[in-house]
Structure 1
Amino acid sequence: MDFSFDRHDEEFRAVARRWLAEHPAPAAGPGRAWERELGAAGWIGLGWDTPEGRYGNRTATLTQQVVWAEEYARAGAPSRTGHIGENLLAPTLLAYGTEEQRDRFLPGIARGEALWCQGYSEPDAGSDLAGLRTAAVRDGDTYRITGRKIWTSLARDADWCFVLARTEAGSRRHAGLSFLLVPMDQPGRVEVRPIRQMSGDSDFNEVLFDGAEARARDVVGGEGAGWRVAMGLLARERGVSTLVQQIGFEAELGRVLREAATSGAAADDPVLADDLVRQWAELRVMRWNALCTLGGSGEGAAPSVSKLLWGGWHRRLGELAMRVRGAEAVTGPGDWRPGTYPLDDLQRMFLFGRADTIYGGSDEIQRTIIAERVLGLPKEPR
């Protein structure tokens, strides 16, 4: 694949770099103010296949989307709180939604004003998403939703949640599911419970729906088409954002390498030195794999291959960081006080990395997809 940047791409890079230099992100981290600032400048929704300015977003070629992602990451800008709406819901609405749904929801996402979360996994239906039990019962022009979703990122900040629920009583597995757009501001009907992780953070949440309402006009793709829409969304989950992620990985690897050089750990341990070189080489392979599959449809096994590559790589990087640190890896960066859990960035990366091969589809599920869809092996017994 000939993936190179032309003159127009480099001009686009100069514009992006200048804007990021003139608009530093808030020191407090990502939030609504930063999303609105990005939206006001048209930087949200670059990958949407829509006419220039229709929803308030710029248009950009695939290579220009990569350029923006690279410059954003290299500027040290914060992780986005609006990425679920921009990168997951918006492409799904463009593919499966009605014109009325697009006109109602896309402008708010493009302006950075509407934040979204994803209601897929459940306590008894994580990797086996088809086993979900959350039910949505039709009541005139409204659905009433009852059930629990778990591992929901950004649920505490979200205005809306796209929820996969069972709308046909007695249906099983993939049948009878619908993809509903649900407002989160429903006191007494929607409850968000933060999940405390071993790193001390609460990035994930449990969301309880107790008769929560969703309008019938806010079913995407039609009633009963939820599985098709949900799988279409997951196929779009790993696109240009994968390259952004890898730039972040490169920065983390650089820090580990600098610590190894400063401490002399690699010089004293040839096995560790070899593992660090292997980690560097594998990151290059991941980048080329991402670039080669970037222009595809996102269907088939390509997303599964990508997830397997980066999930295991990032978990191993956290382990390498602790090996470089040696005994100091188990000590905190500051005073330990009751109710606190101080960690530095590498310790946090190591602990969070334990989940890299689980969330977003476990390694076992990704290998099953590759085995069935690419290798043609017999399907796993149900």
Structure 2
Amino acid sequence: AATFRATAGTTYHVLLGQQFNQGDLTVAFGTVPPAPNDDFADGVPVSVPGRYSGDLTVASAEPGEVRPSCDPAAERSVWFRFTPDRTRPVSVQALAGWGPGITVYRGTSPAALSEVDCVASGDRRPAVFAGVAGETYQIRVADDADAASLYDIELAAAPPLSPWIGTYPDTPTVYDEVTVTPYTGDPLRRDFVSGEVRFGDGASAPITGAPIKHRYAADGEYRVEVTGSTADGRTGTAAGTLKVETHDVALSDFVVPAKARVDETKQIKVSVSNARYDETVTVTLYRLSEQGYYQQVGQAEQWVPAQAGRKVVFPFAYTYTAADAAAGKTSFKVVASIDAPYPGDARPADNELLGTTAVRAG
């Protein structure tokens, strides 16, 4: 059967069809009573837990009826009335299909309603609110004229939160700005709207919905904690350990000969400094080829202990060629890398240096 709202004085044309020739069709028209809770005054009392169903195609909006902030086009509406017997968070969820819009109001008269929560049609999330014992709440279930259909909603006590903390990067250094994201772990998919994140180094930041960022001044293991609340009043806490570890060596010197001749072998000296952790350092020497790319011409590995002010020298030797003389110079690049946990060297920009030697034939 098909249901539609007929307006007085309007002519309607009904098209009938069938997939296969199955004989004559019989059509009957009749009036359908409106939904029993179509009007605000006829709101159906509900309780928790509870499940309620109906048909929005036979529902309508009353003159001057309040429209939800998140779904103003949802005009086919029915009403339910809920007065909690105890204070607790409550959810109202559409159980199947597209899902109508659900709006919860506080108040007892159409002229004095205060919107508590609003979920648009098709959102598929439940409306959630802090039900206070003895207060009256009006629940409006609605959809627009094109999408109105059968509905099935369920009222239930909202589940507790299971918060957890996300960090990026998850292996930060003292040079990183860490983004800390508190998650509610809510089956109803509601975010924290207030609370606090404590970074474990004495600093903290409020939960406002904006990204939470923090930079640690020293390496170490920090206990990061979050305490937060959702808009419906549920609260939760979580904690985790964040390890800050900074590996950082630097090329402090790159000494190449100022000039050389073809077939002459000269020394090249590379110095590495390291003030944080003992590291195994690999230094690679490259020469800029005639084709415009760097080709490796030497590599050395050494153990470089952490000691401020100390430099470890990596010696290299290079024999200059006729191709160097033809170019008039040899362009070198030296790169240092370390065998360290991800993400490796915290400041790779100081692990690369360039040098040039002027070269002539004889």
TM-score class, shorter? under 0.3
- Structure having the higher Rg: 2
Choose between structure 1 and 2: higher helix proportion: 1
Choose between structure 1 and 2: higher strand proportion: 2
